[in-house]
Structure 1
Amino acid sequence: MFERLDDWPSIHQFRNQSPPTNEDDLFSWIHMVHIPGPFEQTISDGFDRLIRHHRATNQRWLAVSGASHMGKTQAVTNILIERAMQKPEQWRTRSGEGVLSTPYVYVVAASNQEARGLLATISKACGLPDAGTEQELKQRLAEMLPRLGTRLVVVDDAHMFRRRNDAASRVTDGLRKILEIPVPFAFVGVDLHSSALLYRSSRNNDTAHQLERRHFPISLEPLDRRRDVVAAAELAHNFRKRMAAVTGLDIADALRDAEALAVVLHRSQGRPGSFLNVLKQAVIEAIAENDGVLTAGRLVAEAHRAPLGPLMEGD
């Protein structure tokens, strides 16, 4: 959904509108509504730092790495959509020469992605031809992205760039060449040090070493269920404030219950994305089955019902 750049205005409008009255639309709204998480400001600051320092030939890039279900995609896409919608009248409008104004580009890496495929995906997202060799695509984007006013390209699921051994450098070589395009790139994914972007090879002159020296790292760690209870409570508070606009919803006491929130944090392994999903699922079930009333007990039950994978060590 987020890769369709022309959909961003409607996504922004849907997220920020009053809650729908139709139940199915309301459930969609609850799932789609954005709740600021603990990493959003860190990632936003990282984007700004990258844009400031990507100058001349230094080819700096940003790596946002963290476990699955940390809320990376939600944070990244919200930052980009909010920035794009600061001037909605200029978003994706055509200039006199026919190019689409696209200050921010968001694409998702495919399985076993290689550089040429990524370049083609970016080209297609920007309304540019996606045919040609890797070098032809790179040259076209190097020429056209500045004309589109592109300030940042974000590549999600960047762990899909895989490198299987020290000798397999073709993917890494292609990624390094992409950095020659005169706009900054941010790569977001799970454990990027296992990807072709930051693979630690034993070869002295390996391309990955060049990529590593040029990157700004942001590493997202799960919330600790003992030390970070305040951050979890703030996340629940932000969610509760957003849900206050839903007529007839009674969830405040449950989302202030410290013991219930501790269980949700524990069951979600401290991953903010999973934590919020439990809250959203619990509220939807409360609307569907209990006239909008959510108790602490029902919240805990939803936390135990959620398919969150194996618990943390020591459980």
Structure 2
Amino acid sequence: MKNYLEFEKPLAEIEGKAAELRAMAEQSEDDVDVEKEAAALDKKADKMLKDLYKDLTPWRKCQVARHADRPHCSDYIDALFTEYTPLAGDRNFADDSAVMGGLARFGDQPVVVIGHEKGKDTNSRLHHNFGMARPEGYRKAIRLMEMADRFGLPIITLVDTPGAFPGKGAEERGQSEAIARSTEKCLQVGVPLISIIIGEGGSGGAVAFASADRLVMLEHSVYSVISPEGCASILWKDAEKMREAAEALRLTAQDLKKLGVADVIVDEPLGGAQRDKDATLENVRVAIDKLLKDLSKTSGKDLITARRKKFLDLGSKSLVA
């Protein structure tokens, strides 16, 4: 069963009617041809889908980026990597289920893959804490990045988080320090580092995995210092002004490419990644393959120098209207 976003409700009605017609035809013994009518509804739904996604507002892109049916980190690992061997724990406090990572192969290339996992149903979302990492999650990522650097393995990170977990225990265990150290480690490793924003890139919790040689964003993903709701609550004392906040934050992949924050935008199928997961996964595979080949030609020392320069230069570009 498909999940529809608020602005997709008219589309849900049309696609629902088409599905009902086909279900009735299968159960009916009468020789009634409803396929023609269902096909007409399909055509109408296709046109509506194109119209809805032709020019999405930043707030609607936020909704698409958060869609429950989008491919998750675990989907990308299962589809794009082989011989995945998960590694757990930060060797200090605990294992954080919001962050998954380990050794794997991308084609013939051994790599280290790290990502946020939000979970796909109520139980798994609670288990993965909705992708909100605690300090031990970032320290696990640091451990994996150090191992990758030691053995000369490229690092691929998959970012999908509303932000780091803001709970009391996380703060007591040094949440801000762990995020800062993870960001620092991204800038220190002498191996290719590619980061893909697969859904929602929120706050320092995302930056800690995304301070990379190349930042890839899916077409309808978002990346921002704060959520639109949080921004609206601070600026206007009203979370309902999230639409205005989304506009002001310049959080879409298209805006961030203009600003020089994002390097590559990966196309999504019409209607978002959730409508054709296989096509989305293949598009991301092609992007990673190309970037890995390009970055593998650069020495570790030059990678570090260019990566640091990239971030020092951010803000020098103005947003083109």
Output the TM-score relative to the length of structure 2: 0.29
Output the TM-score relative to the length of structure 1: 0.29
Q: Which has the higher strand share?
A: 2
